[in-house]
Homo-oligomer: A and B are copies of this chain.
Amino acid sequence: MKLSWKRYDLQLKHTFRIARNARETVPVMILSLTHDGITAYGEASPNIRYGENIATLNAFFEKVDLTKFDSPFAVDEILRYVAEIEVGNNSAKCAVDLALHDWIGKKLNVPLWKMWGLSPANAPFSSFTIAIDTKEIVRQKVLEAEDFPILKIKVGLENDREMIETIREITGKPLYVDANEGWKTREKALESVRWLKDKNVVFIEQPMPAAQFEDTKWLRDRSEIPLIADESVHYLADVPKLADAFDGINIKLMKSAGLREAVRMIHAGRANNLKIMLGCMIETAVGISAAAQLSPLLDYCDLDGNVLISNDPFDGCRNIKGRLELTKKSGLGAEPFE
Q: Which residues of A contact B (CB under 8 A)?
A: 73-77, 100, 104, 108-110, 114-119, 121-122, 236-237, 239-240, 243, 260, 263-265, 267-268, 270-273, 296
Contacts and interface: CB of A to CB of B under 8 A. Distances in A.
Given A239-B271, A265-B271, 11 more contacts: A75-B116, A76-B117, A76-B119, A77-B121, A77-B122, A104-B115, A236-B267, A236-B271, A237-B271, A240-B240, A268-B272
Contacts of A268: 267-268, 270-272
A224 to B, nearest CB: 25
Contacts of A263: 267
Contacts of A75: 116-118
A121 to B, nearest CB: 8
A74 B117 contact: yes
18 contacts: A73-B114, A73-B117, A74-B117, A74-B119, A76-B117, A76-B118, A76-B122, A77-B119, A104-B115, A104-B117, A108-B110, A117-B260, A237-B271, A263-B267, A264-B271, A268-B268, A268-B271, A271-B272
Number of copies of chain A assembled together: 2
**Residue among A75, A118, A268 having the largest count of chain B Cβ atoms under 10 Å:** A268
Contacts of A104: 115, 117
A121 B237 CA distance: 25
Contacts of A74: 117, 119
Contacts of A119: 74, 76-77
A98 to B, nearest CB: 13
B296 A76 contact: yes
Nearest to A109: B108
Nearest to A108: B108
Contacts of A267: 236, 263-265, 267-268
B115 A270 contact: no
A272 B240 contact: yes
A117 B79 CA distance: 10
Nearest to A239: B271
A240 B268 CA distance: 9
